[in-house]
Amino acid sequence: MEVILFIFLGIIALLIYLTPAIIASKRNHRNAKAILILNLFLGWMLFGWVGALIWAFTNDID
């Protein structure tokens, strides 16, 4: 039971961590790959994650 809970919480944490990249991809953002890279490398710091989230919501859409 603990293993299932650990896996479930890990998946939820990964989805929250990658939220900026998911949003950019869903919005067909021109810089979706760059947002993903920023999210992967600087997302663990709060300012990197917030910066990627703000960038994902900008109106730079194809």
- pLDDT tens for residues 29-60? 999 999 999 999 999 999 999 999 999 999 86
Query: Could you give the 3-state DSSP secondary structure of residue 61?
Result: strand
Domain boundaries along the sequence of the chain: 2-56
Residue 39: name the closest of 58, 61, 59, 22 by CA.
22
- pLDDT tens for residues 6-18? 999 999 999 999 9
Residue 5 has pLDDT above 90, yes or no: yes
Residue 62 has pLDDT above 70, yes or no: no
Tell me how crowded residue 51 is: count the other CB atoms within 10 A of its CB: 17
Query: Could you give the 3-state DSSP secondary structure of residue 29?
Result: strand
